[in-house]
Structure 1
């Protein structure tokens, strides 16, 4: 039997617990799921600034939380939706992925089509904002063969089967990768536009707050946009932002191929073929965790721009997700640890109890979250967290 647990910020009902509260500091079972969502069918949980989506193995999307711009996709602008409900207009489609910005959303189907909904204040829906200021129902965009979708604070990125990347929305930090005819940064792009000058074919996109990443078929990582906290793996004292896709040197990752990427608002983590996880970016909330090359493990730095290996001794990382400034790691402990089965460790920003340790103090060293079973999946929003657990 499986059970979904949630904790952290709940000021808009984004935990789906059936009520609104400032915070929930301990993992709490989500008991108000629709009858059409058996807990064992939950594939992923993703969240934005204050809203959350559940994607099931059947390709259905259910939303809860902040809905002032229609970002939950239920056809209304009710401020808070405290229980998960199915997104309207996508019932006949097999959805494979969903992503959230601050208050907009994007979904991908198994046919490579995409839908957008929520706020369009900065063109983040890929539609002229004067014509569509927001949408409380999904709108299909005229893009085909999409294989990956991602959303930043107020911008959106997708990758296609051919390896091309399209971006739109807010771009004042260079996160769109577009320049105008005068060589200036495009600050707002209201419709999807091809990102030029990409080396290789991109199969996966990820977005930070104002940064965009592309992972190529060769395992190379490209990055562009804001570099205030070293997110581009370049010294922010020298590079404030970058408008063209910038290859991050493979020797930063032991010359290994990168297998996956996740991004918080201002920090980034990647996994490589050997199983190691590298992490970099902003670190003043402890969101980078303990690093192999850190002499004083509890010393707080504002940022680290050179990717470093995340150090979790005797623990194999099976999966990692990033909130705005905190992380959840699905861990398989090695045999000499007393725990059995997969479990959850968390660290970083904890103002809303989003790390799930019962406190609101930032977590500098990863702590184990107490859950009543083996962890099967972890999900995260800006300041809220989820875990699917197989009960003992």
Structure 2
């Protein structure tokens, strides 16, 4: 689709929308978790639409074929397919139900995943597992790390995970492991550190935002860096933003914009889009690469509360403010 379609409604605010290869998970403020698509938690019998997963959760993330979550009982659980160790269950590489990986101590523990890697931030400790062919978990490189391994210990913030890489701020310094590490000298040379720094990862790059400027580190063959050249809308007006597989999304006041790889309609209609496809909402493949492109304008009865990018998908969370 190239025009936004309503897909999920709830009285509770969506805290996070995260996508796997062919599925998506939505975590609500009340702890409820819903999934749609080809997810092993629900795909034993394929059903259309969203399915609620039993239990209450604090965080969730998706890899290519697996899902990881933190329960309200402070346990990290995982499910799906993990032939490269991304389940964290040792030699077990498939499960159709959530299984416990480890317990966490911090009430703010978070999980992160992309492709064949999983990471958990538990206070001052960052754990990781999965593919290790680029030393994204540990050195020296190996085929896989199939159980939780300590990646870093210290004051940690801004963790983000891409394909074969992890990037974070550790003890006041940007750190990177895996495929993205070759851009580390450039990241450290840019004046991006500060209390307002936010890091987001696409599959092969890092975008940094300090609420004044966007900076981009990585390959940009599909205009993934378009936001760094855009002067309108001004960066200070950004209320929320995110990145997907190889595209970005942000909200400025009453408008939502996307940029980057939009081949599947995830960056909305561009100037080349035909009137017929715009009317039907069906993607006509004219938006393979997209500059900063407006995809949504709120009505006077709407407010954008968050936006997220998934695997070739864009998610805009709207709060209805009037009848």
TM-score normalised according to structure 1 size: 0.70
Determine the structure 2 residue equivalent to 1:345: 257
| Partner-residue secondary structure (3-state), 1:141 | strand
Change (3 A) 1:202 1:383: same
Report the structure, 1 or 2, having the larger helix content. 2
- How far, CA to CA, are the matches of 2:44 and 2:163 in structure 1? 24
What SS is found at the alignment partner of 1:346? Answer: strand
Structure 1 runs (4+) deviating above 4 angstroms are: none
Q: For the Cα contact (< 8 Å) 2:60–2:70, is it kept in 1?
A: yes
Instruction: Say which SS state the counterpart of residue 190 (structure 2) adopts.
Output: helix
Distance 2:52 2:192 in 1: 44
Aligned residue number for residue 61 of structure 1 = 33
In structure 1, which of residues 219, 223, 227 is the aligned counterpart of residue 176 of structure 2?
A: 223
Match of 2:225 among 274, 283, 288: 288
Instruction: Find the aligned partners of 1:83 and 1:214 in 2 and give their Cα distance.
Output: 35
| 1:51-105 Cα deviation digits (max 9, x unpaired) | 11111111110000123xx1xx23x434x543111113xx2x3x22111111111
Looking at structure 1, the residues matched to 120 and 35 of structure 2 have their Cα atoms a distance apart, in angstroms, of 21
Aligned match for 1:117, one of 62, 75, 79? 79
Name the counterpart of 2:155: 201
Mark the CA change 1:221 to 1:120 in structure 2 (over 3 Å): closer, same or farther: same
Structure 1 residues 275 and 216: alpha-carbon distance in aligned structure 2, compared to 1, 3 A threshold: farther
Residue number in structure 2 paired with 1:166: 127
Q: In the alignment, what sits opposite 2:208?
A: 270
Q: Could you tell me which residue of structure 2 aligns to residue 87 of structure 1?
A: 53
- From 183, 199, 206, give the equivalent of 1:232: 183
Cα distance in 2, alignment partners of residues 115 and 138 from structure 1 = 5
- Give 1:289 shift: 0.8
Contact kept, 8 Å, 1:253 with 1:278, in 2: the verdict is no
- What secondary structure, in the 3-state scheme, does the structure 2 residue paired with 1:291 have? helix
Pick from 234, 237, 258: which aligns with 1:314?
234
Residue 83 of structure 1 aligns to a residue whose secondary structure is coil
Q: 2:134 aligns to what SS in structure 1?
A: coil
1:1-392 matches, cutoff 5 A:
24-30=1-7, 33=8, 38=10, 40-67=12-39, 70=40, 73-74=41-42, 76-78=43-45, 80-88=46-54, 91=55, 93=56, 95-129=57-91, 132-145=92-105, 147-161=109-123, 163-176=124-137, 178-179=138-139, 184-195=140-151, 200-216=154-170, 218=172, 220-227=173-180, 232-234=183-185, 248-249=187-188, 251-254=189-192, 256-257=194-195, 259-272=197-210, 274-292=211-229, 311-315=231-235, 316-332=237-253, 342-357=254-269, 358=278, 359=283, 360=285, 361-373=287-299, 374-391=303-320
Q: 2:272 maps to what in 1?
A: none
Instruction: Indicate conservation of the 8 Å contact 1:231/1:266, yes or no.
Output: no
Give the 3 Å change call, closer, same or farther, for CA 52–81 of structure 1 in structure 2.
farther
Q: Tell me the CA shift for residue 258 of structure 1.
A: 5.3
SS in 1 for 2:218: strand
Contact 2:132 2:141 in 1 (8 A): yes
Greater RCO (Cα-Cα under 8 Å, separation 6 or more): 1
Cα separation, 2, equivalents of 1:205 and 1:58: 24
User: Is the Cα–Cα contact under 8 Å of residues 171 and 186 in structure 1 kept in the other structure?
Assistant: yes
CA contact (8 A) 1:49 1:383 kept: no
Deviations 1:209-255 (A, max 9, x none): 1111123363x32111014xx763347xxxxxxxxxxxx42x41255
Give ranges in structure 2 of 5+ residues lacking alignment: 270-277
CA contact (8 A) 1:231 1:282 kept: no
Q: Distance in 2 between matches of 1:383 and 1:254?
A: 28
TM-score in terms of structure 2 length: 0.84
Structure 1: how far apart are the matches of 2:193 and 2:242? 23
* Matched residue SS, 2:50: strand
For these two proteins, the number of residue pairs brought into alignment is 301
In structure 1, the gaps of 5 or more residues are 1-23, 236-247, 293-309, 333-341
Quote the Cα distance in structure 2 between the aligned partners of 1:110 and 1:262: 25
Q: Give 3-state SS (helix, strand or coil) of 1:187's partner.
A: strand
